[in-house]
Structures are given as structure tokens and as C-alpha cells.
């Protein structure tokens, strides 16, 4: 929901700062995040969020209303995630209620595949500073909407059901 943006952004900023501390040289003692660009939507200009930006030394750049081309790469990536999620949902023959899970699954897959011109590292590897073999990544991929089996722990005294059939809707 749009009302939860402030809390989500504060969590994301903290996560990025934690992941990049020591990896990115700070500028004049500031955090590694220098500025954030967004449109003039009300949910982006909440006072708690603006206070967080100010206390963290982050400048907020807002774009002119009704000019999505100023948002550039972010708008294109958002559109790609939306279309990729729709393709996953359609390919898995899933109802509309699963669109968010399909978008999350698409993002998971996209971040684990090389998507730059050099095709050397993935966004996941860059962000987490790890190297993962492509074969290991490819073996983990599954088709959204396919049959999967969920293993249940042995907790009951009687004859336990060891697994049950389910539909794969995304990654953890």
C-alpha cells in the first residue's frame, strides 16, 4: 500500500547502508546514499520520510509532474517488472490475485541473471559482493505455477504426512 511507503523506504535505506558500509567511500562523511529521485506523489513527500532524509544527509530530487521520462531507468524497470510479472502469471495460468507474487518472482529471477552488456555479474552478486556459478543459479529456477511438493516436519505421533502437493508461486 502507498501508506506504508515511509516505513518501507526507511527499512530499505537502512538495509542499503548496512550492505554498502565499508564498500562505498562516503562523501564528506555522509552516508553512501547521496540523493533519491522520485515524482511529486503525496506518498513520497510524507514528513516522516523527509525528516529521515534530512537526518541521514540525503537530498530529495523530485521531478516535474506528468513527465515520466525524467524518472528514466526507474520507470522503465518498473514497467519491465510489471510486464514480467504478467508474463509469469499468464505462463503459470494463475488468477489475477497472484500478480504481486509473480512480480516478486520475476524480480528474483531478473536479479540473478546477467542483465548488462558485459554479461559478467548479476545484480545479486554486485549487491551482496558474492560470486555464484550460473549453473547453481539456473538449477534453482522453477516455472511459476508448476507442481511442487512441500515437505512437512515430523511433529505428530501418528502416521505423519511427509509432503503435500502445492503450486509454486515464488521464491523465498
pLDDT values of the chain reduced to their tens digit, one per residue, 172 residues: 666 777 888 888 787 777 766 555 544 455 567 788 877 777 778 888 888 888 878 888 888 877 767 767 777 788 889 999 999 999 999 999 999 999 999 999 988 888 776 667 888 887 777 888 878 878 888 899 999 998 877 666 666 667 889 999 988 7
> Closest Cα to residue 101, out of 85, 115, 90?
85
What does residue 49 show for φ and ψ, rounded to 5 degrees?
-70, -40
Model pTM score: 0.66
Contacts of 59 (CB under 8 A, 6+ apart): 34, 35, 36, 53
What pLDDT score was predicted for residue 60? Answer: 84
φ, ψ dihedrals at 118, nearest 5°: -80, -20
Question: CA–CA separation, 34 vs 5, rounded Å?
Answer: 19
pLDDT of residue 27: 47
Q: What whole-number distance in Å separates Cα of residue 59 and Cα of residue 7?
A: 18
Residue 25 is predicted with a pLDDT of 52
* CA proximity to 63, closest of 51, 72, 55: 72
Element (H, E) at 17: helix 5-20
pLDDT score at 155 = 64
Reduce the DSSP state of residue 166 to 3 states and report it: strand
**Cβ contacts of 49 within 8 Å, gap of 6 or more:** 5, 6, 9, 10
Amino acid at each position: 500500500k502507498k501508506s506504508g511507503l515511509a516505513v518501507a523506504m526507511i527499512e530499505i535505506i537502512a538495509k542499503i547502508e548496512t550492505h554498502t558500509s565499508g564498500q562505498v567511500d562516503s562523501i564528506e562523511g555522509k552516508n553512501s546514499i547521496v540523493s533519491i529521485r522520485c515524482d511529486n506523489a503525496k506518498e513520497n513527500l510524507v514528513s516522516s520520510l523527509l525528516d529521515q532524509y534530512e537526518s541521514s544527509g540525503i537530498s530529495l530530487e523530485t521531478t516535474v509532474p506528468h513527465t515520466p521520462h525524467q524518472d528514466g531507468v526507474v520507470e522503465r524497470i518498473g514497467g519491465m517488472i510489471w510486464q514480467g510479472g504478467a508474463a509469469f502469471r499468464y505462463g503459470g495460468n494463475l488468477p489475477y490475485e497472484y500478480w504481486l507474487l509473480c512480480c516478486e518472482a520475476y524480480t528474483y529471477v531478473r536479479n540473478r541473471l546477467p542483465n548488462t552488456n558485459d554479461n559478467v555479474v548479476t545484480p545479486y552478486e554486485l549487491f551482496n559482493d558474492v560470486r555464484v556459478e550460473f549453473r547453481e543459479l539456473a538449477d534453482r529456477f522453477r516455472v511459476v505455477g508448476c507442481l511442487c511438493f512441500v515437505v512437512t516436519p515430523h511433529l505428530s505421533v501418528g502416521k505423519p504426512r511427509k509432503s503435500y502437493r502445492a503450486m509454486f508461486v515464488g521464491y523465498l
